[in-house]
């Protein structure tokens, strides 16, 4: 069911957005050569405890997950692009890391993701991150009353296809509110002018993710981590966005 939030409720969602943005910022600053993925998960867990927030991940067990997730953060490295289960892995020079984090504050959820390179970066990884961020911004720009859901999806897909990237439609954006995943599904490609008409009060996570040379993925033996079928690297960006009468409001905007 698609739910629309009142302006007052969107205001109530701001603290969750700020908190998630702060955690993502702290994780990006912490990520470096020699840091263990479990250290990043513990940092996020400590920030949740300090804030009195609630994890959206630790007990999460959808149909596509092998078991309850058990961690508070997704850490996807190199050929892993989504749902990376934190494990005993020490980041190496040049690793491409995507962190995805969602939490509930005072009963409202926000969700965000960011990709970074630790140590010395390959130019092709920086380019992929830049394109993914540009696709996110293009999707956000279309999140306006009167537009259609397909306008958001098409804007994301246009950026990807413009540089020759494939687009996987299995996983994409989603509604956000009292829970992490709700209606509507927001694909990362589509046709402009099609789909749900966007109205003030709709809150969605917009999240493009792309792989260098494929759009096919498989599930790792851990039952969660999604990896590229050809071993190519991936990038993932996400913001929680409220559609208002004045246009898109990015609730998880990080401080400059």
Q: How many C-beta atoms surround the C-beta of residue 52 within 10 A? A: 9
Tell whether 238 is in a known binding site. yes
Give the whole-angstrom CA distance, residue 7 versus residue 244.
Answer: 8
Q: Which residues contact 69 (CB under 8 A, 6 or more apart)?
A: 57, 58, 59, 60, 61, 85, 224
Given a contact cutoff of 8 angstroms between Cβ atoms, the answer to whether 171 and 143 are in contact is: no
Tell whether 207 is in a known binding site. yes
Tell whether 230 is in a known binding site. no
Tell whether 174 is in a known binding site. yes
Tokens at 84, concatenated: 């990376």
Tell whether 100 is in a known binding site. yes
Tell whether 93 is in a known binding site. no
Tell whether 181 is in a known binding site. yes
* Nearest CA-CA partner of 207 in 247, 234, 246: 234
- Cite the annotated binding site for substrate by residue number: 83, 181
- Cite the annotated binding site by residue number: 83, 100, 111, 174, 181, 207, 238
- Cite the annotated binding site for a divalent metal cation by residue number: 100, 111, 174, 207, 238
């Amino acid at each position: 069911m698609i739910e629309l939030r009142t302006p007052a409720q969107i205001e109530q969602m701001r603290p969750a957005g700020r908190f998630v943005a702060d955690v993502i910022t702290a994780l990006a600053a912490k990520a470096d050569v020699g840091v263990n993925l479990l250290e990043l998960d513990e940092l996020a867990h400590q920030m949740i405890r300090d804030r009195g927030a609630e994890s959206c991940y630790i007990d999460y067990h959808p149909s596509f997950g092998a078991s309850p997730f058990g961690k508070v953060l997704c850490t996807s490295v190199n050929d892993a692009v989504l749902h990376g289960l934190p494990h005993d892995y020490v980041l190496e020079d040049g690793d491409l890391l995507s962190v995805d984090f969602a939490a509930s504050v005072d009963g409202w959820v926000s969700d965000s993701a960011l990709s970074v390179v630790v140590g010395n970066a390959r130019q092709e990884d920086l380019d992929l991150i830049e394109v993914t961020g540009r696709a996110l911004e293009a999707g956000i720009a279309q999140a306006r009353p009167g537009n259609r859901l397909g306008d958001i999806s098409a804007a994301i897909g246009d950026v990807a296809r413009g540089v020759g990237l494939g687009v996987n439609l299995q996983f994409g954006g989603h509604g956000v509110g009292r829970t992490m995943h709700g209606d509507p599904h927001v694909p990362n490609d589509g046709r402009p002018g099609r789909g749900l008409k966007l109205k003030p009060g709709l809150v969605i996570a917009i999240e493009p993710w792309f792989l260098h040379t494929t759009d096919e993925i498989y599930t790792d033996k851990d039952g969660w981590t999604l990896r590229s079928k050809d071993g190519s690297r991936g990038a993932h960006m996400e913001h929680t966005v409220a559609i208002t009468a004045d246009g898109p409001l990015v609730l998880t905007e990080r401080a400059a």
